[in-house]
Structure 1
Amino acid sequence: MTAFYVYYRVAPQQNAAVQAAVLRLFSLMQTQTGVAGRLMRRVDDATTWMEVYEGVGNAEAFSDALQQNTLVCGLPVLLDDPKRVVERFEDF
């Protein structure tokens, strides 16, 4: 199984809009892939947010869906820096 960790920066004035977009993204991802997402933010820097997706079976299909749904939800437009860093980890 694979876990996806996606992190990015959110300007404080965009918190509500980004949170709403992420919740929509989570809904789409769970419907399409069966994987629920979790939203976190860094303890010492509240502008750094992270989406966590665990238990991904088909990493390539999940990655494609995540990329497409990120656009559908408008996240790149809401972020000051539209770069979302995606890292994957797998079980030993």
Structure 2
Amino acid sequence: MTDRQYCLFMNGRIRNRNIGCKRHDNAYGINGGGTGADRRRADRALYAHMRENGDPLALLVLAFTRLFGWFFFNYHGKPWRGQLVRKLFPGY
């Protein structure tokens, strides 16, 4: 049995990425979410985790999550309620 891959578009098996990505996904997901400030905190926590592990992709991942994370984040109110990705792709 293989472990679940939490990192999108990168190898989660190196530099302890999968643990950081899992925490980030949980902060974004159904049981997480919140406001834009909560999303910023989750993105910065992933960035800090990657920097602590000497990951050269840390800054690129921070930029990616800031630009595209709104699509996956579970907003509790404005600009909508829930995750837009689940509204457009219910099986995701």
**Do the two structures share a fold, i.e. TM-score over 0.5?**
no
Q: Which has more helix, going by share of residues?
A: 2
Question: 1 or 2 for the larger relative contact order (CA 8 Å, sep ≥6)?
Answer: 1
Give TM-score, length-normalised by structure 2. 0.39
Return the TM-score normalized by structure 1: 0.39
